Amino acid sequence: MSDPAVKSSLLTTDAHTRRRNAAEKRFRAYGLAAIAIGLVFLVLLLGSILFKGVGAFQQTFITLDVELLEAKLDKSGNRDPAQMAKVTTFGYNPLLDAAIKRATEGAGVENPFTKGKDLRKLLSAGAANQVRQFVLANPDRIGETVTFRLLASSRVDGYFKGRVTRESLARDKNLTPAHLEMVDGLREAGVVAKRFNPGFITGADASESRPEQAGIGVSMLGSFFMMLVVLALSLPIGVAASIYLEEFARQNWFTDLIEVNISNLAAVPSIVFGILGLAVFIQFAHLPQSAPLVGGLVLTLMTLPTIIISTRASLKSVPPSIREAALGVGASKMQTVFHHVLPLAMPGILTGTIIGLAQALGETAPLLLIGMVGYIASNYPGGIVEGFLSPNSAMPAQIYEWAKRADPAYYERAWGGIIILLVFLMTMNIIAVILRRRFERRW
């Protein structure tokens, strides 16, 4: 007599099912742990950037009442701009020395220095030029006492931000502990204070002796003109090449060779494109060195493979039934692609394009090879044409230049520049999401 068949129930969990469920729970736990670790590192990274870079948006200012003596600035008294321009910044230094002396006396701060140049060390090296530019722009104010908010020196600013101490000034030739005693007294009187510094966002780079004046505004404009070049060239060329390869080209050894080369170009290091741009656009074509136009051409070469690959992926994602339906009602191949396939692929195309532009915005190596380094342009370009052709820098190159300079104030500005660059990148990615939602269609 045979044994009765063993009956099992769906409600009973056997050993194999229990092991499989346990493995699934472990896998989900590993995934959640990986996400948590990634978020922790992201928070640490962003926190570190904000902690080290937010100080670049604040600067120490000294408020002084400067007496614009006519005997010093306009001896002839006729307010002739040509004559007044002959007075260099050295002619304005005595006025600043007297203003600082009056400020210390008014605040009741002891002044241990007898020479004016020692007092002037509290101010930025560009303070005299700031007053000079004001006088040349407002000659009618000569003879008056005008209140100026002048940048303090980088050492004074560092003292306010905690990176300069009395002990660290023992071997410093720029400032002494006695200067810091005066700064403490002037701070209590409200003469010296730390405020928001719009010049960091709107200004240009400065020499290594004037880190307190350095700004990233001109470099931001250089990056903007470069991105215009990249967008104007890479989007139409990349989309046209993708449409041809995906929809019209025959599959043969030649198209296979093109596809392999496009995939290889997407993995080429960016510095190779910089060498190519230096050889082709500057040495062969003789385009202006350090110009945003050349930088945009180099970044276009680097961005094209990314845009072509993402565009082809978007075209492939459109169901074949869309093409077949369009051809079935009598549409031509051209009409099928441009009236039906391309609109449905547009969200992916725009997303890939903006991501490619964001990648190009953060590149540094190719820009350094074509000469787009810091402290090239001290002023904003005079027009659109000059914006494309005049020497300029870009935000990543400017940040790199600041990071390698010796003064700690430039290191702080490098972190501040990273914050601005991240804002640009986040903005571009947000635009990509909005455009994707705007053009997204369901089928």
Give the pLDDT confidence of 243-288 residue by residue, as tens digits: 999 888 888 888 888 888 888 888 888 889 999 999 999 999 888 8
Q: Is residue 128 part of a domain?
A: yes
Most confident of 33-42, 46-55, 145-154, 396-405: 33-42
Same domain, 229 and 149: no
Nearest alpha-carbon partner for 304 in 199, 386, 230? 230
83-112 pLDDT per residue, tens: 888 888 888 999 999 999 999 988 888 888
CB 101 within 8 A of CB 162: no
Would you give the distance in Å from CA 174 to the centre of its chain?
A: 31
Same domain, 264 and 362: yes
> pTM of the full predicted structure?
0.85
Same domain, 291 and 383: yes
Tokens describing residue 125: 């090296």
Burial of 156 (0-12, 13-18, 19+ CB in 10 A): buried
Q: CA 244 to CA 247: how far, in whole Å? A: 5
Same domain, 170 and 295: no
Q: Which residue has the higher pLDDT, 435 or 134?
A: 134
pLDDT at 2: 47
Same domain, 235 and 189: no
Same domain, 274 and 305: yes
Q: Helix or strand or coil: residue 250?
A: coil
Q: Is residue 310 part of a domain?
A: yes
**Domain count for the chain:** 2
- In CATH, what number is assigned to the domain containing residue 359? 1.10.3720.10
Same domain, 224 and 355: yes
61-88 pLDDT per residue, tens: 999 999 998 888 888 888 888 888 888 8
DSSP strand pairing (192-196 vs 145-151)? unpaired
How high is the mean pLDDT of the chain?
87
Residue type, 246: E
pLDDT at 408: 86
Helices marked H in 317-407 — which ranges?
320-328, 333-336, 342-361, 365-369, 384-389, 395-403
Q: Is residue 16 part of a domain?
A: no
Please give the backbone phi and psi of residue 151, each rounded to the nearest 5 degrees, phi first. Answer: -70, 135
Same domain, 290 and 399: yes
- How many other CB atoms are found less than 10 A from the CB of residue 186? 23
Same domain, 283 and 327: yes
* 216-219 contact pairs (CB < 8 A, 24+): 216/395, 216/398, 216/413, 216/416, 216/417, 216/420, 217/380, 218/377, 218/378, 218/379, 218/380, 218/392, 218/393, 219/374, 219/392, 219/393, 219/394, 219/395, 219/397, 219/398, 219/417
- Is 373 a residue whose pLDDT tops 80? no
pLDDT at 163: 87
Same domain, 221 and 308: yes
Do you know the residue count of the chain?
Answer: 443
CB 53 within 8 A of CB 416: yes
280-316 pLDDT per residue, tens: 999 998 888 888 999 999 999 999 999 999 999 999 9
Question: Which single residue is written with the structure tokens 């060498």?
Answer: 275
195-245 pLDDT per residue, tens: 999 999 998 888 888 889 989 999 999 999 999 999 999 999 999 999 999
Q: Is residue 333 part of a domain?
A: yes
pLDDT at 10: 63
Q: CA 86 to CA 94: how far, in whole Å? A: 16
Nearest alpha-carbon partner for 156 in 133, 136, 174? 174
DSSP 8-state symbol, 131: H
Q: How far is CA 419 from CA 178, 281, 366, in A?
A: 35, 32, 22
> Please, which pLDDT band fits residue 3 given cuts at 50, 70 and 90?
low
Residues spanned by the domain of 192: 60-197
- Is 118 a residue whose pLDDT tops 90? no
Q: Is residue 131 part of a domain?
A: yes
Could you report how far apart the first and last alpha carbons of the chain are, in Å? 63
Question: Final residue of a domain: which of 130, 163, 197?
Answer: 197
Q: Is residue 238 part of a domain?
A: yes
Q: Is residue 391 part of a domain?
A: yes
pLDDT at 8: 59
pLDDT at 327: 87
Same domain, 76 and 179: yes
324-370 pLDDT per residue, tens: 888 888 888 888 989 888 888 888 888 888 888 888 888 888 888 88
CA angle 311/316/321 to nearest 5° reads: 140
Residue 396's Cβ-side half-sphere holds a number of Cα atoms within 13 Å equal to 19
Angle between helices 177-188 and 154-161 (to 10 degrees): 70
Same domain, 178 and 228: no
**Overall average pLDDT of the 20-43 stretch:** 94
34: Cβ contacts below 8 Å, ≥ 6 apart: none
Angle between helices 217-243 and 292-316 (to 10 degrees): 40
Q: Which residue has the higher pLDDT, 198 or 374?
A: 198
